[in-house]
Amino acid sequence: MGSTATTANVAHETLARVYASSDVGATRALYDEWATTYDAEMADASQNYVGPALAAACVLRTLGPEATARAAVLDAGCGTGLVGLHLARAGARTIDGIDLSPGMLAVARKTGVYRALDAVDMSGPLPPRDGTYEVAVCIGTFTQGHVGPGAMDELVRVVKPQGLVVATVLAAIWETGGYAAKVAALVADSRAKLLGAELIDYRQGAGVQARLVVLQVL
């Protein structure tokens, strides 16, 4: 009981620190510090972070098993590799990951599911060339104090026509953070078709919801 309560408190406190950070260097350092305990704390009943599982299930449901197995996938903001693990279980075989935190990437590397892992600040241009991937996923990164809606332009850019962008956006900032407007602009500019923006229970234990945005690149 005490151990579970301690884990819950640590997770809440660390999330509060991360959300409050507005400096890229400070955010990187916080995630580096958190990397070794992140998975256990986010799996705790106080968080029950199911976003990665829901995103992988969405990719499999939308593409089907054969296309999922063939797809080259970019896991943007991959963290410790939770999304990559779920994608691999769903049948994905070619997964590249990028993240701000070298500490998180070190943990992700141990999963063995990534073809390549690179430290990238998603607030700027992404390294891949236009149309490199069939799928880009970005789970848990469009949240308070993190990456702004402009990064969606980059995710669309690196995905091939008819490919998918699957991303979560914290519900509390969907409108106020400019994400809904960015998605609407991508659709209006005929860069993407909106397949869904379902409201999901993303950190179930904490009662936190997110929009699960699914875009087909045009």
Of 5-14, 41-50, 83-92, the range with the highest mean pLDDT is: 83-92
Give me the pLDDT at residue 20, please.
Answer: 74
Protein fold of 51-217: Rossmann fold (3.40.50)
* Confidence class for position 17, pLDDT limits 50, 70, 90: confident
Residue 124 phi, psi (nearest 5):
-120, -170
H helices of the chain, in order, are 2-20, 24-43, 51-63, 65-70, 82-89, 102-109, 151-157, 179-188
Q: What is the pLDDT of residues 66-108, one digit of tens each?
A: 999 999 999 999 999 999 999 999 999 999 999 999 999 999 9
Give me the pLDDT at residue 3, please.
Answer: 46
CA distance 177 to 162: 27
Give me the pLDDT at residue 146, please.
Answer: 81
Instruction: Look up residue 18 and give its two tokens.
Output: 């991360």
How many residues comprise the chain?
Answer: 218
Q: What is the pLDDT of residues 121-161, one digit of tens each?
A: 999 999 999 999 999 999 999 998 789 999 999 999 999 99
Closest by CA position to 135, among listed 38, 187, 64? 64
Average pLDDT over all residues of the chain: 94
Domain ranges of the chain: 2-43, 51-217
Give me the pLDDT at residue 12, please.
Answer: 63
Tell whether the model's pLDDT for residue 54 goes beyond 50.
yes
Q: What angle in degrees, to the nearest 10, is found between the helix axes of 82-89 and 51-63?
A: 40
